[in-house]
Structure 1
Amino acid sequence: MTVLVVILAVILVIVAAWAYSRANRLDRLNVRVDLAWQALAAALERRTVVVRVITSWMDNSGDPAVRTAARDLAACADAADRAPRSAREDAENALSRALSRIDPIGRPVGLVAELADAETRVMMARRFYNDAVRDTRSLADRFLVRLLHLGGTAARPEYFEIVERITPGTGG
């Protein structure tokens, strides 16, 4: 009888150690998602700043059509900047579509390069974020992790899907 109790105690300790390590891993993955989101938000904000510089440059144009396009682009940038996290994808996609309608020819080379760099950083940050979300969801979706509620009260992370680059003339 004591052998059985010892065996059950050993099994219980092994299961508890496994559960603790899974819960700890899931917590670290949730922290990774949060940090990746902060990096993505910073990259999106940087792109918005570059867009505002471009709209400022366009607003100084003598062409009324360019000035109207600048106001539309600025409105999209403001909407993307103020959008809550749940609506951020749509707002950022609208900004990408508005950017695709702006002809880069005639724009200062520095602004073109700055926008390209900002868009590349957004693309990379989005990929890192989505990788973190994939890893977290993969662990959180496992049967025993769900059964034992090892995820605690952490919200299930959602992917962030935006168009990476829209080439002019395609419209999305």
Structure 2
Amino acid sequence: MWWVLGVVVLAAIFSAYLGWTAQRVERVHARAQSAERALDSHLLRRAAAAAVVAEHLESVELYAAARLALDAEPDERESAENDLTRQLQGVELDPVDPAARALIVSSRRVVLARQVHTDLVRDALTARQRKLVRVLRLPGRYPRPRYFDIVEPVMPPLPSPAPAPASEAMPVQAV
């Protein structure tokens, strides 16, 4: 009689572990897809900001690269973004100009979004490689996540805000 109870307990523990594993695989894939959408939106913002800067600078090559990045198909996206990054590295940006400032900020956000995306794709691929996950085909409805390899944009530093005048500074109180 005790062995039946032991088998039932082991089956319950195993099914709880399977449920937890399936939920983890689903959650990490959903997060990877969300990070991919966030990266895509940041890339679109950067391309749009680059198009505005190109119009201000009257740079035909930069504008063409920005338009190609905006209109690229998913399988051509990496090369279009790399071309845009190379064009941006050849342009002298004035951090005081609002359009250039928006481009610098959006480029920095692209770098951050790409790092988050890369980390989540790595986690999803690691979760997929577990033997139990492969045998039971737990990530079944999710496509295999892919890394997005682009050249890291190098942008000039933004000027730091001017310090507040002494009259506006908060007085320090002794505690």
**Cα distance in 1 for residues equivalent to 2:138 and 2:69:** 35
Query: Are residues 1:104 and 2:103 paired?
Result: no
**Cα distance in 2 for residues equivalent to 1:42 and 1:167:** 19
TM-score, normalization by structure 2: 0.80
- Superposition map of 1:25-40 within 5 A: 25-40=24-39
Tell me, which stretches of 5 or more residues in structure 1 are unaligned? Answer: 60-69
**Cα distance in 2 for residues equivalent to 1:86 and 1:25:** 29
The answer to whether the Cα contact below 8 Å between 1:45 and 1:81 also exists between their aligned partners in 2 is yes
The answer to whether the Cα contact below 8 Å between 1:19 and 1:150 also exists between their aligned partners in 2 is no
Residue in structure 2 matched with residue 118 of structure 1 by the alignment: 106
More helix by share: 1
- Partner SS, residue 4 of structure 1: helix
The answer to whether the Cα contact below 8 Å between 1:26 and 1:136 also exists between their aligned partners in 2 is yes
Tell me, which stretches of 5 or more residues in structure 2 are unaligned? Answer: 157-175
Amino acid at match of 1:137: L
What value does the CA root-mean-square deviation take over the aligned residues? 2.0
**Cα distance in 2 for residues equivalent to 1:16 and 1:51:** 52
- Superposition map of 1:5-24 within 5 A: 5-24=4-23
Amino acid at match of 2:41: A
Deviations 1:76-126 (A, max 9, x none): 112111222232111100110111222336x86323322211110100111
TM-score, normalization by structure 1: 0.81
Identity of aligned residues (%): 33
Deviations 1:56-85 (A, max 9, x none): 1122xxxxxxxxxx2222221121112222
